[in-house]
Amino acid sequence: MNKELRRKKRYQAEKRFQLYGIIAISLALFFVGLLVFKVFSDGTSAFSRTMIKLDVTFDANKLGITNVNDKDEVDNADYYTLIYEEFIKSYPFSNREEEKQIIKLLSPDYEFEAKNYFLKNKDQLNKTVTLLLTASDDFDQLHKGNFPRDIPEDRRRLSNYQLKIYDQFLKDGKVEKIFNNYLFSKGDSRDPELAGFGGAILGSLFTILICLLISFPIALAAAVYLEEFAPKNKLTDLIEININNLAAVPSIVFGLLGLGILLNVFELPRSTPLVGGIALSLMTLPRIIIPARASLKAVPPSIREGALAMGASKVQTVFHHVVPLAMPGTLSGTIIGLAQALGETAPLLLIGMVAFVVELPGSPMDPSASLPVQVYLWSESAERGFVEKTSATIMMLLGFLIVMNSLAVYARQKFEKKWN
């Protein structure tokens, strides 16, 4: 009987042990799910933008335009007053305070939106058209249902009066949601409804491009040297130890390197993708060398021996036969290394890529942000509009990473030869 009991206990222990493993895996999977769910549930609303319809007459007198073809006049016309006066008419107000509250429902850029519309449709002079103007962040968030309405007025961003206007607008069909093209085409802004990650995407692209241009050739050459040419001596050992250690150095140290050497000694321009790319390329270097060496090593010696037997020189053997065969593995390692560099933030913070940049960067020498830095910058802002923008930026970043990693897997599976 005692034996029976012990066996039962042992089997229970076995079951329990398995259960621990399953719990651990489910917990890890749960975290993945939670992260993805949180980002998507917060971020999807950022891809739409709330607009308010407004009937406007482009009155030549009010705008001060005498000749539509005079570029100067059209450029400097008073769109601000036109829209302002038209918009406050859309709801009755009794004092200056309420007037202010009405105009605050519009994003401060309405002047330029009206101007841009008019520049494209100059024939609309003295005609009445329905304009779609970007709503302010608070209005936008209210319409998307991110602001609760039933809390006391002093804790809300919108007053009771503004809520009444919103309800009226909604009833009149003046509110419309459109696709948020600003998100992709604009740089940073203090107003969430006008902010976009277009500048950050360009900055990231430039950074990754610089990183690729520097790290890939050097890493490939270093891997080829170490795997094919290096004699077994102290120097080679030193290089190998260095590479293995560099792969594990915290990324922020590369930021310090960039700050101390690239900015202070070489006086390269601050906050630019050029410096960011160089700093990241130093970080990526060992992360490409290691997989590149592994795939060079995987090429069987018979290939080399065959080439040498046909009279090829050592360099010819390596560059005509070994390197092309090792290319799929090397490329997939490079893509994975670049994907890590794309998500890296800390080194970029130290070399000053945290600047508030409104304009889109035109070259790697212009100050700019990058996608992960944009996430950091916006997550520090209090406005609710920036929370959804941050999540949208994360979605974009994760999208890029998924594409790059699948590309790496594809490159490996499709082109890599199996030697058996």
Partner 1 sequence: MNLVLFLFILLFSVSLYFFSKSRIGYFASSKQFKLKALPKYYAYYLSLWCALPALIILVSWNILEPAIIKNLIFSKIQTDSLKAISKDELNLIYQKIKAYYTGNFSGQLDESIKLGAEQYKRLLSVAASSKVVVFLSAIILFSGLALRNISNNVHAREGVEKIIRIILFTSSVAAILTTVGIIFSLLFESIKFFTTINFFDFIFGTSWSPQKAFVSDASAELTTAQLKELSEAFGAIPLFAGTAFIAFIAMCVAVPIGLFSGIYFAEYASTNVRKFGKPIIEILAGVPTVVYGFFAALTVGPFFRILGESLGLEVSSESALAAGLVMGVMIIPFVSSLTDDVVNAVPQSLRDGSYAVGATKSETIKKVVFPAALPGIVGSILLAVSRAIGETMIVVMAAGLAANLTINPLESTTTVTTQIVMILVGDQEFTSAKTQAAFALGLTLFAATLVLNFIALRVVKKYREQYE
Residues within window 243-272 making contact with partner 1, judged by CB under 8 A: 243-246, 248-257, 259-261, 264-267
The residue range among 115-123, 175-183, 203-211, 285-293 that interacts with partner 1, by the rule CB under 8 A, is 285-293
Which one among 116, 126, 313, 413 touches partner 1, defined by CB under 8 A?
313
Distance of CA 271 to the CA centre of its chain: 17
In single-letter form, the type of residue at position 17 comes to F
Smallest gap from residue 267 Cβ to partner 1 (A): 5
Binding flag, residue 25, partner 1 (CB under 8 A): yes
Beta bridge partners of 135: 106
Which one among 20, 75, 150, 301 touches partner 1, defined by CB under 8 A?
20
The residue range among 98-106, 159-167, 197-205, 236-244 that interacts with partner 1, by the rule CB under 8 A, is 236-244
Binding flag, residue 345, partner 1 (CB under 8 A): yes
Distance of CA 391 to the CA centre of its chain: 10
The residue range among 104-112, 158-166, 299-307, 388-396 that interacts with partner 1, by the rule CB under 8 A, is 388-396
Binding flag, residue 339, partner 1 (CB under 8 A): yes
Q: Which is nearer to partner 1, 23 or 129 (CB)?
A: 23
Contact in structure between 330 and 223 (CB atoms under 8 Å): yes
Q: Which is nearer to partner 1, 68 or 247 (CB)?
A: 247
SS3 133: strand
Q: Which is nearer to partner 1, 56 or 200 (CB)?
A: 200
Binding flag, residue 285, partner 1 (CB under 8 A): yes
SS3 250: coil
Residues within window 347-386 making contact with partner 1, judged by CB under 8 A: 349-350, 352, 354, 372-373, 375-376, 379
Locus of tokens 């594809």: 410
Smallest gap from residue 395 Cβ to partner 1 (A): 10
Contact in structure between 223 and 289 (CB atoms under 8 Å): yes
Contact in structure between 188 and 386 (CB atoms under 8 Å): no
Residues within window 167-226 making contact with partner 1, judged by CB under 8 A: 217-219, 221-222, 224-226
Binding flag, residue 66, partner 1 (CB under 8 A): no
Binding flag, residue 405, partner 1 (CB under 8 A): yes
> If we measure between CA atoms, which residue out of 283, 285, 284, 255 comes closest to residue 271?
255
Smallest gap from residue 253 Cβ to partner 1 (A): 5
Instruction: Give residues with Cβ within 8 angstroms of 19, minimum separation 6.
Output: none
Smallest gap from residue 328 Cβ to partner 1 (A): 19
Residues within window 73-112 making contact with partner 1, judged by CB under 8 A: none
> If we measure between CA atoms, which residue out of 138, 147, 128, 78 comes closest to residue 103?
138
Q: Rounded to whole angstroms, how far apart are CA atoms 340 and 363?
A: 22
Binding flag, residue 239, partner 1 (CB under 8 A): yes
> If we measure between CA atoms, which residue out of 380, 354, 397 comes closest to residue 39?
397
Smallest gap from residue 150 Cβ to partner 1 (A): 19
**Which ranges in 299-322 belong to alpha helices (H)?**
301-309, 314-317
Say how many Å lie between the first and final Cα of the chain, rounded.
55
In single-letter form, the type of residue at position 158 comes to L
